[in-house]
Structure 1
Amino acid sequence: MQYHVLGSSGLKVSDVCLGTMTWGIQNTQSDADAQLALALERGVNVIDTAEMYPVPPNSDTYGDTERILGNWLSRHSDKRSELVVMTKIVGSGFTYIRNGGPITRTGIATALDASLARLKTDYIDVYQLHWPNRSTPHFGKHWPNRLTPSCINREQEVEGMRDILRGIKAALDAGKIRHWGLSDDTPWGIHTFLMLCHEMSVPKPVSIQNEFSLLHQKDWPYLIEMCAIEDIAYLPWSPLATGMLSGKYQNEARPAGSRWTLPQRQGLFRNKPQAQEATARYVKLAQDVGITPAQLALAWCKQVDGVTSTIIGATSEAQLSENINAFSLHLEAPVLDEISNIIRQYPAGF
């Protein structure tokens, strides 16, 4: 396992970040305990969760993933200082979470205290904004004219971001969080927060989590370049395209207990024809190399310049072990060249 500094935080984080969104629906407390034991044994030291987890989100299980992690932390308090725990405040859209409202200073205070209680910890290493208050080109909205950015009220958005930063500063000053980060944001969002942080004397964000995979590379190179130059860690989520790049959903297969047998928020299945065709090519390439398709996708992600730590999730110890093994692999130039050829033919799988 290799380690890298998380942006400007000074924290050292492993190549692998353990994602937890399956805990509470697909995985039990016992499953989570086993995953954590395996991950720590393999050198993973960063854990990512969110107040809205598990996924698919619903009012009955809201907050359960944090509770499961908190139960483990309460039984392993000696490990707390060795871990980088990241969680996220949800954005607007869920009526059962703060009446579906946007992220605000007061919302941060309420959400943070609730997360700390569920996690059974006195502090959170990195507290993240799950998504911006404005609409952004994420979650399938990256195609032309799916958004109307010309209609965004800049002054209103900037004032909302100032309000958020007041909440972040209060949390930092109180010692409830050590650093903060972004998720599902854009170059404009990063730039504006950096500008406002300088203006308001608030520490800048140390990281951003965005969707990134062989089938979804929209952040390369522009957003990733900005992160690298501005010393903001880039953490890909869904590096397997919600499992598609493992090959298990080829030919419309739906293995029992898999994520695609569950309702998908906003109907965001990745099984578009181009994604299926590209995945078939990646599966064949992985077979030729002698690794699994998931390992090919994860090893590629690790080797993208500017990636700090890749968020992986699993529903079994075997799956988690397979995925962690990918980060000890090195893809040689001919394999990377073939991957580039596939990307050229399928630049946007979904």
Structure 2
Amino acid sequence: MEYNYLPHTDIEVSKICLGTMTWGRQNTEEEGHEQMDYALSQGVNFFDTAELYPIPAQAERYALTETIIGNWFKKTGKRNEIVLATKIAGKAPFTKFIRETGFSRNSIVEAVNGSLQRLQTDYIDLYQLHWPERSTNYFGQRGYQPDPRDHWEDNIHQVLETLRDLIKEGKIRQVGLSNETPWGTMRFLEEGKVHPSLPRMITIQNPYSLLNRLFEVGLSEISMRSKIGLLAYSPLGFGTLSGKYLEGKPPEKARITLFPNYNRYSGDNAVAATRAYKQIADKYNLSLTQMALAFVTSRPFLTSNIIGATSMEQLKENLGSIDVVLTPEILEDIEAVHNHIPNPAP
């Protein structure tokens, strides 16, 4: 395994992070525990979760993933071996069963305390805002479109004040963003710069893969110049970049098979790009899965690559990508496809 430091900290994390959003729906608690055991044995010390998980979100399954992780901590006693990240759910129609008050002080305090209880821990290493309160381009929306129904008032100072107080209480150590835009990222960073007593956002968890390199437009420069590290999610595009959907018949129990509305990586251009990337992988005798993951892990703005799996076979292949080195020739071929079919999935 290889490691990076979370920016501006002495917290060392594995360059592959174990994602958990299927535990409690597509995976049982026993399977989640098996994944954590194996990932830790392979040098993975970074787990990412959220109060919203498992997804798709359901009231009757609310925060089951955090509960599964908490039970593993209790069973194994290995909390101190893990850098733990979780998130507060943002305001949205599909989170009304959680709360409708966004990132108000009471909401953040309630969310943190709930996560601590379920995770059976006294502290969270990295606490993230799952998506902006503003109406903006997140979750599959390619560009910003002004929404006349968006009545958001800038509360970023108040959000950071609440997070600062929770840091002082020892409940969280560091804070980060997720599904954020260049404007939002800089707004948080500038607020912290103007008011040094406020905490600094150190990471941004956004989608990034061979099918979606939109992070490179604006955010990558912010990431590198301001040292806010990318935690890349969906590095396989809901499993599309494993190539398993190219055969015509969707595999049983696969994510897109079970939840067809998760189709942002399934359009004609995305399929064409996936086929082209598969040809590159075949040319160099590589697994498409491992080539796609190795590409993400190799990016200079990457802090950690969040992989997820619903089987141990998938997990082992995903973790094995850390040993794959992409030569200049492979990267040149990848760029040729990207130039021909740039960012086919939002």
State TM-score, norm by structure 2. 0.95
Identity of matched residues, %: 39
Give secondary structure in 2 for the equivalent of 1:281. helix
1:56, 1:262 within 8 Å by CA — same for their partners in 2? no
Distance 1:92 1:150 in 2: 17
Contact 1:141–1:147 (CA under 8 A) maintained in structure 2: no
What is the distance in 1 between the residues matched to 2:30 and 2:256? 23
List runs of 5+ in structure 1 lacking aligned partners. Answer: none
Unaligned runs of at least 5 residues, structure 2: none
2:223 corresponds to: 227
Q: Give the CA deviation at 1:252.
A: 4.5
Change in CA separation of 1:140 and 1:64 when aligned onto 2, cut-off 3 Å: same
Per-residue CA deviation, residues 65-107 of structure 1 (Å, 9 max, x unaligned), is 0000000011122x21221000000001111011x33222110
SS in 2 for 1:73: helix
TM-score, normalised relative to structure 1 = 0.94
CA distance in 2, matches of 1:333, 1:29: 42
Q: Structure 2 CA distance, aligned partners of 1:257 and 1:244? A: 14
Correspondent of 2:272 among 262, 273, 277: 277
Q: Does the 8 A contact of 1:247 with 1:293 survive in 2?
A: yes
The residue type equivalent to 1:96 in the other structure is: F
Match runs of 1:297-312 below 5 Å: 297-312=292-307
Offset at residue 138 of structure 1 (A): 2.0
Aligned to 2:73: 73
Please list, as runs of the form range in 1=range in 2, the aligned pairs for 1:1-350 lying within 5 A after superposition.
1-77=1-77, 79-93=78-92, 94-98=95-99, 100-143=100-143, 147-148=145-146, 157-158=153-154, 160-200=155-195, 201-263=197-259, 267-350=262-345
Report the Cα offset of residue 149 of structure 1. 7.4
Give the root-mean-square deviation of aligned CA atoms: 1.6
Q: Following TM superposition, by how much is the alpha carbon of 1:157 offset from its aligned partner in structure 2, in angstroms? A: 3.7
CA offsets 1:41-63 (integer angstroms, 9 cap, x no match):
11000000000000111111110
What's the CA shift for 1:175?
0.4
2:70 match: secondary structure: helix
CA–CA distance in structure 2, aligned partners of residues 240 and 224 of structure 1: 19
Q: How many residues align?
A: 342
Whether the 8 Å contact between 1:103 and 1:164 is mirrored in structure 2 is yes
Q: Assess if the C-alpha contact under 8 Å between 2:18 and 2:39 holds in 1.
A: yes
CA drift of 1:251 comes to 4.9
The Cα shift of 1:150 comes to 9.6
C-alpha separation between the residues in 1 aligned to 2:140 and 2:234?
A: 13
